[in-house]
Amino acid sequence: MTEQAVQKMESRPVFPFTAIVGQEEMKLALLLNVIDPKIGGVMVMGDRGTGKSTTVRALSDLLPDMTIVANDPFNSDPEDAELMSEEVAKKVYENQTLETESKKIPMIDLPLGATEDRVCGTIDMEKALSEGIKAFEPGLLASANRGILYVDEVNLLDDHLVDVLLDSAASGWNTVEREGISISHPARFILVGSGNPEEGELRPQLLDRFGMHAEIGTVKEPELRVQIVEQRASFDETPIDFRNAYQQPQTLLRNKIVKARELLNAVELDYDLRVKISQICSELNVDGLRGDIVTNRAAKALAAFEGRNKAEEQDIFRVIPLCLRHRLRKDPLETIDSGDKVRDTFRRIFS
């Protein structure tokens, strides 16, 4: 961790991820997306005050540092061409030496009132026309590259802007075009949206584009509620001491994530299990193939997280409600299935 990152952490301590009580569904979905970002992000829906924002910030703080090209606004990866800006890629092609630095994985908050220019970036046409150079002012998508983009109350965001975010998240690139000038840069991030269902749902067409859908509710057990309140009070009073108490479990979980990322490509999922996943999607009348793809990826990511190189039936059972429940609706007025319908279909097919 860089000195600057340490100072930032100490000036604004973040609640430890391993100290969060309950909300297992949301935590699992977030961890699996961190292990395999190609799962496609998470939509978290739940009551107000259930720790959605706290959990996402805690996840970002938990993750290991990343290596970037120094002074690059796109967090370019010095090793991966898919995660390099055009300028960095050109330097690599010319065999120039790249200066690198370590940086905390970014967690970018997208405010509700953000404009498309603020999100995607803008081209300075005056400079482009007068000086003949592509003058680009990066937006939030550039800052979020290789990190997490968090949109609170995504269900209140303009549909067009949600479409832009989902397109960038799916393709891994952001393209800005104006007056015949086009600029592209890498924008591979984990998109996390959250919202309160009382304030309205996303349209099914947009909801389907999120890889996973986690539902969280207010904790009902009095003992757990007391534990959460006491933890929060302790953290607010002495945040550094509270964080220090969770240093060991945080380190263990961080190492587990790193190992899972390394193991992921070696994880196998038997053909007959893949066929059964597709059979479930077919019986549930899930449109398209996103449900099949995401369930396959999530099952492998879970196996990698638990240190296994083969995904099993139980892995599928744990992740498939998160991957399919938001893809079942055909009528926008229907509520999202809690997961029971998906589980019942799973049990029938796997029996």
pLDDT of residue 117 exceeding 50: yes
337 pLDDT tier (thresholds 50, 70, 90): low
pLDDT, residue 128, reads: 55
Give the C-alpha separation, 323 to 206, whole Å: 14
> Which residues are the active-site residues?
290
pLDDT, residue 252, reads: 94
pLDDT, residue 335, reads: 60
pLDDT, residue 131, reads: 60
pLDDT, residue 129, reads: 59
**Maximum Cα interatomic distance, the chain, rounded to a whole number of Å:** 70
Give the C-alpha separation, 171 to 192, whole Å: 16
Q: What is the pLDDT of residues 303-319, one digit of tens each?
A: 999 999 999 999 999 99
Question: What domains lie within the chain, and their CATH numbers?
Answer: 3-216 (3.40.50.300), 264-350 (1.10.8.80)
Phi, psi of 153, rounded to the nearest 5 degrees:
55, 45
User: Which of these, 317, 318, 334, lies nearest to 326 by C-alpha position?
Assistant: 334
209 versus 250: the higher-pLDDT residue is 250
pLDDT, residue 314, reads: 93
Q: What is the pLDDT of residues 318-328, one digit of tens each?
A: 999 999 988 88
Other CB atoms within 10 Å distance of the CB of residue 107: 22
5 pLDDT tier (thresholds 50, 70, 90): very low
158 pLDDT tier (thresholds 50, 70, 90): confident
pLDDT, residue 8, reads: 47
Of the chain, the percentage scoring pLDDT greater than 90 comes to 24
pLDDT, residue 10, reads: 42
261 versus 224: the higher-pLDDT residue is 261
Residues 172-180, mean pLDDT to the nearest whole number: 79
What is the 3 state secondary structure string of the chain? Answer: CCHHHHHHHHHCCCCCHHHCCCCHHHHHHHHHHHHCHHHCCEEEEECCCCCHHHHHHHHHHHCCCEEEECCCCCCCCCCCHHHCCHHHHHHHHCCCCCCEEEECCCEEECCCCCCHHHHHEEECHHHHHHHCCCCEEECHHHHHCCCEEEEECHHHCCHHHHHHHHHHHHHCEEEEEECCEEEEEECCCEEEEEECHHHCCCCHHHHCCCCEEEEECCCCCHHHHHHHHHHHHHHHHCHHHHHHHCHHHHHHHHHHHHHHHHHHHHCECCHHHHHHHHHHHHHCCCCCCHHHHHHHHHHHHHHHHCCCCECCHHHHHHHHHHHHHHHCCCCCCCCCCCCHHHHHHHHHHHC
Q: Which of 46-50, 152-156, 170-174, 344-348 bottoms out in mean pLDDT, i.e. has the lowest?
A: 46-50
pLDDT of residue 297 exceeding 60: yes
pLDDT of residue 95 exceeding 90: no
25 pLDDT tier (thresholds 50, 70, 90): confident
Give the C-alpha separation, 20 to 242, whole Å: 12
Residues 246-258, mean pLDDT to the nearest whole number: 92
pLDDT, residue 130, reads: 62
258 pLDDT tier (thresholds 50, 70, 90): very high
Q: What is the pLDDT of residues 181-211, one digit of tens each?
A: 778 888 888 889 888 777 777 777 777 788 8
pLDDT of residue 349 exceeding 70: yes
Query: Residue 144 burial by CB count (10 A; 0-12/13-18/19+): exposed, middle or buried?
Result: buried
pLDDT of residue 340 exceeding 70: yes
Average pLDDT, the chain: 83
36 pLDDT tier (thresholds 50, 70, 90): very high
Give the C-alpha separation, 79 to 67, whole Å: 9
Strands 190-195 and 148-152: parallel
In the chain, the amino acid numbered 274 is R
* CA quadruple 214, 215, 217, 223: dihedral sign: negative
pLDDT, residue 187, reads: 86
32 pLDDT tier (thresholds 50, 70, 90): very high
- Give the strands of the sheet with 107-109, arranged side by side: 107-109, 148-152, 190-195, 42-46, 212-216
